[in-house]
Structure 1
């Protein structure tokens, strides 16, 4: 979009300030690259923490929402404990983090190797952050499978936007929530299971909990 604007710049009306709203700022481009990276199924909990720390460094106003112990984080001790294990700092775990990570600390399996693809010539804000930070860390525990909460949220929001189109604005909130729930959990149940649960809720409700 920026490249297209540069090509047609000389033909634009220089006094039309309304066009400014359609030109993404460097801040918006950087944060959009972070959002897209968080939507990836390959993004780990440590990746999310590295990205958030980098955003806080460049945009301090976001610290209140992205800090490791922010009120939005539901289990800060668990998440911080996982990150410390991934970066090889198990000795620095606090007592609360050790309690939250009690079962994870028993893990003795080796960390699965992640194939490193050659970096492209031009990297986004998020890619540069991960490449510079991940190269200095070696994870002794196989905890890369733990997804960040933001990963699920970033997947849910686009789906909600697709479902909540203008023609569906009159939907009952409960109906919309049920549709999103079924779409998100479609790997766990098929259409026949949903039909059985609707017909006999008392018998099959436990399978959806």
Structure 2
């Protein structure tokens, strides 16, 4: 909505009497611009959390903690011990910084370090990409086997909620819950079926 407002704002005249009463004042306009920038950062993190190549360390220690640095008011929702976190002890155990003794115990799981080729610089980076890049250049963390395959628990759920809100529009508001659930199930699990399996089911 804010993006749409700023796209249209340059074409709207404050002298037009029909819309002058509903146009934001210059002070409110400045506040809306700041709010748009903040929301674009939140949107960037939300979209990054839905990606398949994200692991728990990047989600918690990088993205969510980076968002909390600029938006402390989200602490009750995004902190490691927030009510939405399914298993706070497990999550903090996976992403914590290891002591010397813990590093020694986990030595058998340590992956051999490989020299990595520099990644090409993207032309435009979102807030989430900037956080991940900054954190990766600041610390050269040791990698341990199996930790990279632990996905953040919310990425599949985030994708499901996003597709549900896209699916259930006004024109489909009369769908039965069973039909909506079936459509969402097929959409989320589209890797497991194709036209051939559909024809077999018929």
Provide TM-score, normalisation by structure 1: 0.68
Structure 1 residue aligned with 2:143? 140
Q: CA separation in 2, counterparts of 1:28 and 1:91?
A: 40
Which of 47, 52, 63 aligns to 1:51? It is 63
Structure 2 residue aligned with 1:125? 127
Q: CA separation in 2, counterparts of 1:63 and 1:73?
A: 12
Provide TM-score, normalisation by structure 2: 0.70
- Deviation at 1:27? 0.9
User: How many corresponding residue pairs?
Assistant: 180
Q: After superposition, where does 1:2-81 map in structure 2 within 5 Å?
A: 5=6, 9=10, 11-14=11-14, 15=20, 17-18=22-23, 25-49=36-60, 50-81=62-93
Match of 1:43, SS state, is: coil
Structure 1 residue aligned with 2:111? 110
- Deviation at 1:181? 2.4
Structure 1 residue aligned with 2:17? none
Do the aligned partners of 2:110 and 2:142 also contact (CA within 8 Å) in 1?
no
Match of 1:47, SS state, is: helix
- Does 173-182 or 58-67 show the bigger shift? 173-182
Q: Give the 3 Å change call, closer, same or farther, for CA 43–111 of structure 1 in structure 2.
A: farther
Deviation sequence 1:37-67 (CA, Å, 0-9, x none):
1122122211111111111111111000100
Do the aligned partners of 2:56 and 2:151 also contact (CA within 8 Å) in 1?
yes
- Indicate yes or no: 2:166 matched with 1:173: no
Structure 2 residue aligned with 1:101? none
Deviation sequence 1:1-54 (CA, Å, 0-9, x none):
97x958973x53235654659966211111111112112212221111111111
- Deviation at 1:165? 2.6
Q: CA separation in 2, counterparts of 1:170 and 1:6?
A: 33
